[in-house]
Amino acid sequence: MIPAKFDYVRVGSSDEAIAALTEYGDDAKLLAGGHSLLPLMKLRLATPTVLVDIGDVRDLSYIRDGGDHLSIGALTRHRDLETSELLAAEAPLLAHTAHLVGDPQVRNRGTIGGSLAHGDPASDLPAVILAMGGTLVATGPSGSREIAASEFFEGFLETALADDELLTEVRIPKFGSAGWSYQKFNRRAQDWAIVGVAVQCNGRTGVALVNMASVPIRASAVETALLGGAAGTEAAAVAADGTEPSADIHASVEYREHLARVLVGRGLAEAGIA
Amino acid sequence: MSTTATSTTAMSTASVTITVNGEAATHEVEPRFLLVHYLRELRRLTGTHIGCDTSNCGACTVLLDDEAVKSCTVLAVQADGHAVRTVESLANPDGTFSAIQEGFRQEHGLQCGYCTPGMLMACTALLAENPDPNDGEIREALEGNLCRCTGYQMIVSSVRWAAEHPDGKVPAGMSAATAAAPGSEA
């Protein structure tokens, strides 16, 4: 399987990437690690006419301690997330979940920014960043702006990024030893989640769902129930409220709703919420 | 296409210089040309197999700058300026098997052999990083490589053999396989 024809330019900096995006507009797609985009292009489900390769923009690969938060460069690979001592200490939910993405070969190439900008509701990391209450930094011709993770995912494979914007950084609070859980339900180790649940405690408890709508979503009904003093088991019972899962070869709508309730219950329990 | 170029003009073809198994070569390719096709068709290194072609099976696994990657999901242009290792690089200079190759022979880590080049490269990356992996670590490291013959147990045993015999030498009287002439690997 070979992608449809496209023109290619490799850039060495974010400024060059933005210049290329400005020049080619919505005909262009950014290529980071390529492990979301290239499979779609090989199936010709995506047919960009210009690929702007940002894979060599290495100054966007970092995990930094920003005092009260952590800053993660958009081109940081899953492999670097799963092996980061800083993340293990301050954001173990992200380090743990990065280890569950795909397989080692995929994690050696795929990036956190690529995963988020792709916006696939079946991906693991968008739900984690949602549960963490993260902030995404988008950079365009007129500078940078911050976008709350909860405002970022707008539609199936669609995000709040403008055509000439590049996702440059992900910011998350420091969580230290606060409770957390990631529940990934799949049939085989390397598969996508049929349903997944990310839970992050930190004063308020963030809960987000994988594959329960056309976008990665917060489990708002669960979060609201917990804020109102509900026990974990009570909150888990409303996990499917407000969701719109689809049916596919792996699961019916009803089964996904059932999985959401069960997995939220397990996730809250593992995170220490009785 | 040089990585130092400041032009942001997109091109329909690109010149790529890729070092494969220590030898650099330059070709003009279409940007959509996949690394696995580059290796097989332009470099004539057909040890790297195309299996599922959907980044699932791992048969096309090679090392890109010493990291295991699936070459069906990497564009040749992405490897421009980088170093690739394929299964053809594994044998010792005198043609004898490396430790991981000998491990697969001693412990019968293959049957049909289709997945084997990818398995060997994924194992090579594992052992370079973790020379003494336990069975759980081996299975995690190989989760991106599918084998439909062995049931994996013998592959895990093969990696253990290689870890326990890092020089690849079979102890006298311990050979489980009939002696093969140097360089006679399938």
Amino acid at B32: R
User: Within chain B, which residues score under 70 in pLDDT?
Assistant: 1-7, 174-186
A51–B144 C-beta distance less than 8 A: no
* ipTM associated with this complex: 0.93
Taking 90 as the threshold, does the pLDDT of residue A117 lie above it?
yes
A9–B7 C-beta distance less than 8 A: yes
Chain A residues inside the 8 Å CB shell of B58 = 103, 105
Angle CA A133–A205–A110, to nearest 5: 45
CB neighbour class for B113 (10 Å; exposed up to 12, middle 13-18, buried from 19):
middle
- Residue whose entry in the numeric block shows the structure tokens 């700058």: B65
Identify the closest residue of chain B to A35 by CA–CA distance.
B73
Q: A183-215, pLDDT tens digit by residue?
A: 999 988 778 999 999 999 998 999 999 999 999
Q: What pLDDT does residue B173 have? A: 74
Q: What is the mean pLDDT of residues A148-166?
A: 96
pLDDT band at A72 (very low <50, low <70, confident <90, very high): very high
User: CB-CB: which of B4, B32, B61 is closest to A6?
Assistant: B32
CB neighbour class for B152 (10 Å; exposed up to 12, middle 13-18, buried from 19):
middle
3-state secondary structure A14-72: HHHHHHHHHHHHHHEEEECCCCCHHHHHHCCCCCCCEEEECCCCHHHCCEEECCCEEEE
Per the rule left: phi > 0, alpha: psi between -120 and 50, beta: everything else, B183 is left
Burial B164-181, CB ≥16 within 10 A → b, else e? ebeebebeeeeeeeeeee
Q: How many CA atoms lie within 13 A of B123 on its CB side?
A: 31
Maximum Cα–Cα distance for chain B, whole Å?
64
Q: How far is B4 from chain A (nearest CA, A)?
A: 7
Q: What pLDDT does residue B186 have? A: 45
Chain A residues inside the 8 Å CB shell of B8 = 9, 11, 16, 19-20, 23, 52
Compute the mean pLDDT over every residue in chain A, rounded to the nearest whole number: 96
B30 touches chain A (CB under 8 A): yes
B68 touches chain A (CB under 8 A): yes
Whole-structure pTM value: 0.93
Q: A176-187, pLDDT tens digit by residue?
A: 999 999 999 998
B125 touches chain A (CB under 8 A): yes
Q: What pLDDT does residue A203 have? A: 86
Q: How many CA atoms lie within 13 A of A202 on its CB side?
A: 21
Which one, of A161, A171, A163, A202, lies nearest residue A64 by Cα? A171
Taking 60 as the threshold, does the pLDDT of residue A169 lie above it?
yes
Q: What pLDDT does residue B7 have? A: 67
Percent of chain A with pLDDT over 70: 100
Q: What pLDDT does residue B1 have? A: 43
Taking 70 as the threshold, does the pLDDT of residue A53 lie above it?
yes
Mutation target among A6, A8, A82 for the B interface, most CBs of B within 10 A = A8
